[in-house]
Amino acid sequence: NAGVTQTPKFQVLKTGQSMTLQCAQDMNHNSMYWYRQDPGMGLRLIYYSASEGTTDKGEVPNGYNVSRLNKREFSLRLESAAPSQTSVYFCASSLRTGGESYGYTFGSGTRLTVV
Amino acid sequence: AQSVTQLDSQVPVFEEAPVELRCNYSSSVSVYLFWYVQYPNQGLQLLLKYLSGSTLVESINGFEAEFNKSQTSFHLRKPSVHISDTAEYFCAVSGISYGKLTFGQGTILTVHP
């Protein structure tokens, strides 16, 4: 099984450019998440989707938008990239949001640099 | 709401030495507890979890963690580390009935030969 697949793996953007990070899972999970990882700050939740058709803000949503395209796919969009958005982005999925005893399954990450 | 504090940002040890990575959590409800490991340039992988029952849980590669409810801790230990254990380790908590997974800041374990 592929699990959670993220594309692209690496990306360099100029300030002000836009881009979409793609995420797909093949585990029939209901919930999906976007995190950013910065040194010394752990993982911070950007947005999540508890189920198909719903999305909610996490801890650090400013500057991002998301789309839950279907049960499998959850994309993250940067409309106007800023250097502060330089980070490693992880997509994750789980059977459900809340009381999830199986934990999350993570993708391998997208390393984004904004210059 | 929950929060997680990992007390050490970096832990250097020599190969075959014991190690403990400390994790404290705060929650107003009963929780599930997790440790994840992230090897260089990879995503996070579930290492072990505490759901209920025995307070001591083990992973397949020799790590163990003990849930201490009175001290709200879930420290990770290994009696003898290997070079291959070099990675970043994250403690995480979620509510049993509701609540998303909340992560600690991470502890970088570096094993020296």
The H or E element containing residue A26 is: none
Q: Residue B46: list chain A partners with CB under 8 A.
A: 103-104
Contact B94 A98 (CB under 8 A): yes
> What part of A 43-62 touches B (C-beta under 8 Å)?
43, 45, 48, 58
pLDDT score, position B100:
79
Q: Which two tokens stand for residue A28?
A: 């029939």
Where does the pLDDT of residue A11 fall: very low under 50, low under 70, confident under 90, or very high at 90 and above?
Answer: very high
pLDDT score, position A99:
57
pLDDT: is A42 or B22 the higher one?
A: B22
| Residues A48, A58 contacting (CB under 8 angstroms) | yes
B-chain residue closest to A102, CA distance: B49
pLDDT digits (tens, 9 = 90+) for A21-54: 999 999 999 999 999 999 888 899 999 998 898 9
| Residues B24, B4 contacting (CB under 8 angstroms) | yes
pLDDT: is A53 or A112 the higher one?
A: A112
pLDDT digits (tens, 9 = 90+) for A42-100: 899 999 998 898 999 999 999 999 999 899 999 999 999 999 999 999 999 988 766 56
| Residues A106, B90 contacting (CB under 8 angstroms) | no
A6-21: average pLDDT: 96
pLDDT score, position A98:
64
pLDDT score, position A1:
61
Q: Is B90 on the interface with A (CB under 8 A)?
A: yes
Where does the pLDDT of residue B15 fall: very low under 50, low under 70, confident under 90, or very high at 90 and above?
Answer: very high
| Contacts for B59 with CB less than 8 Å, ≥ 6 apart | B35, B47, B48
pLDDT score, position A4:
95
